[in-house]
Amino acid sequence: MVDITHKSNTLRIATAQAIVKVSSEKTITAIQNGTVPKGDVFSMSKAAGLLAVKKTPELLPDCHPMPIEFTGVAYEIYELSIQIKVTVKTIYKTGVEVEAMHGASVVALNMYDMLKPIDKGVEIENIKLLEKKGGKSSYPIADASGINAAVIVCSDSISQGVGKDTSGEVIKNKLAQFQITTNESIIIPDDISSIQNTVKELVKTNNLIIITGGTGISPKDVTPEAVLPLIEKRLSGVEETIRRYGQDRMPFAMLSRSVVGTFQNSIIMALPGSSKGVAESLDAVLPHLFHSFKVLTGARH
């Protein structure tokens, strides 16, 4: 299976179709009148389709088990053809296209099984995906061009030459995945005035400033206290997303005091000091945070 643990839940919708062709108008009439010997074709085939959707990961080894929150089966008759549409919805980390196509396939196959005693010419065709929503197709990666980034590492020990910076390197590597070059990386002590002065200087040439360290609750953790007075518009939703993403992975993420907001048409992010914490924080909000830079320049949502 593909690793999806880094992804976040979004609404996923997929609609698939299958076409069942019969050879006689008598077959269509029997379906509509409920006189097919094996029973109500539409109702029984719908039940088979619902089961198929739920059991998709049991039969296809790369499909992830997931909560199926809606499955709809609809039929349209066009002369001697019956169009089957299966729509599946979930709020999860991966899409439901295969589940919808599997459901449509089994609905068609069950119809074939029920109709074959009265019609030897039944055919199944055009099993395909009609529509999908959610994930990258609905929320494409925002253009990261024009983003100039700087990194601030807040640490008394590292600024004194004790220990090695790993979190700053994580940030630079994460940004590089989106072709964003980090222009400056500065290590400073955990000090309110140092943090504020560094941010004020870097904001002159950078529109994304990521601070790592000092967001916990120890006496020396003062990064939020330094950043909040500078923030003009706080992005609370980004902060909530970071904490929620972290808490899904480890309980102590609830203690983080990450702060995100705007300052002089730039985005300031104060993130945890641990390399794992800062990596997960960026995974939670990138690349969709890039959309905010266009809004800052006056573009519409």
Active site residues: 113
- Which of the 8 DSSP states describes residue 251? G
Give the CA-trace dihedral at 274, 277, 279, 283, to 10 degrees.
-170
Contact status, residue 216 vs residue 190, Cβ threshold 8 Å: no
Helix axes 97-115, 41-54, angle to 10 degrees: 150
Between CA 104 and CA 79 the distance in angstroms is: 20
Q: Which residue has the tokens 């004020």?
A: 200
Q: Which residue has the tokens 């005035």?
A: 193
Angle at 214 between CA 213 and CA 216, to 5 degrees: 110
Q: Which amino acid is residue 121, in one-letter code? A: G
Distance of CA 260 to the CA centre of its chain: 20
